[in-house]
Amino acid sequence: MTDNGEKDMKVLVTGGGGFVGTNVIRRLVSEGLSVTGTYHKGLPRFPVDGAAYVQADLTQKEDCRRVMEGMDAVILTAAFVAGAQGMLARPMGLVTDTVIMDLRILEAAYESGVKKCVYISSGMVYPFSKEPLTEDQGYIGDPFEKYFTGGWSRRFIEVVCRMYAEKLKAMDITVLRIDNLYGPCDKFERAKSHVMASLIRKAVERMDPFEVWGDGKDYKDFIYIEDLAEGIVLALKKAGGYNVYNLATGRNVTINDALKIILKCADYEDARIVYNADMPTMIPYKVLSVEKARRELGFEAKTSLEEGIRKTMAWYRAHPAAD
């Protein structure tokens, strides 16, 4: 896919039934591309009209080869994901499941002659810092302690991507480090949701008292999923060779700041808020620099936090969680 509007590229999106995968597929289909998404067990919750879907166990070599046949590009969004509670309960899930999938997918892409890959990595690779984190800081020291397993697994796959792209010169691979997503098609189930989805659900359901994990003072850089999907497509269009980019807003807010907007949007500003210090929280401060993505890809997160929260809340009201 290039800036001249080429439409005949066949794109595989792994994890096509997931939060990121669904939104990426929707964006690719809107641009007229031929898109196939993979799913593991259950059918995609929110299939996109115009896309094809195929079942596959991406830890299995033959399944990866089968779905990769005839593809020109692949976007790797399949991963083991969990909120703070899930990450602490099953930390090696971020290693074993995800690493095996990524290695198999990259191997199949290489063997099938795929020319372009986009790997969705994570801001978990970074160490703790009070300054905006740039792409060249991804391997300084260890990741933040609670992200140790997930951060190192992402670092490892990033290096494997570099092997294929730079050392073997087999295909162009772009690594995108992302963080704190929210928006339509997110997981709102209590055991699986991230912080934004969890708070939006509590506000819509008018939880009383309204429980917030930790003290609400942790800083997050929240990016709306449609902005992220645009950044992923820009990387697919424009990047060549091996590149690493942060995709974020470049701005951060405290959980309490986000909560004020959420309660305003839900017309629940009189909520009785209680803080639960016994529940797990993650890194207290992180913001990703987006200067490189802005300069080289023309990426800019356009959706304000309030606009994104309003859109997400409206979507959740139409698709409430079942648990």
In a domain, 5, yes or no: no
How many Cα atoms within 13 Å fall on the side-chain side of residue 50? 14
In a domain, 214, yes or no: no
d(CA 305, CA 299): 17
In a domain, 306, yes or no: no
d(CA 166, CA 32): 30
d(CA 47, CA 191): 23
In a domain, 227, yes or no: yes
d(CA 224, CA 56): 28
Domains in the chain, number? 1
In a domain, 67, yes or no: yes
pLDDT of amino acid 95: 81
pLDDT of amino acid 93: 62
* 53 touches 47 (CB < 8 A): yes
Range of the domain at 168: 10-182+221-251+286-301
Residue 206 zone, left/alpha/beta (φ > 0; ψ -120 to 50; rest): left
- Using DSSP bridges, classify how beta strands 10-14 and 73-76 pair: parallel, antiparallel or unpaired: parallel
pLDDT of amino acid 2: 43
In a domain, 197, yes or no: no
In a domain, 66, yes or no: yes
d(CA 253, CA 300): 18
In a domain, 56, yes or no: yes
Q: What CATH number did the domain enclosing 27 receive?
A: 3.40.50.720
pLDDT of amino acid 81: 61
pLDDT of amino acid 5: 47
pLDDT of amino acid 281: 76
Which residues of the chain carry a pLDDT beneath 50? Answer: 1-5
Reported pTM: 0.93
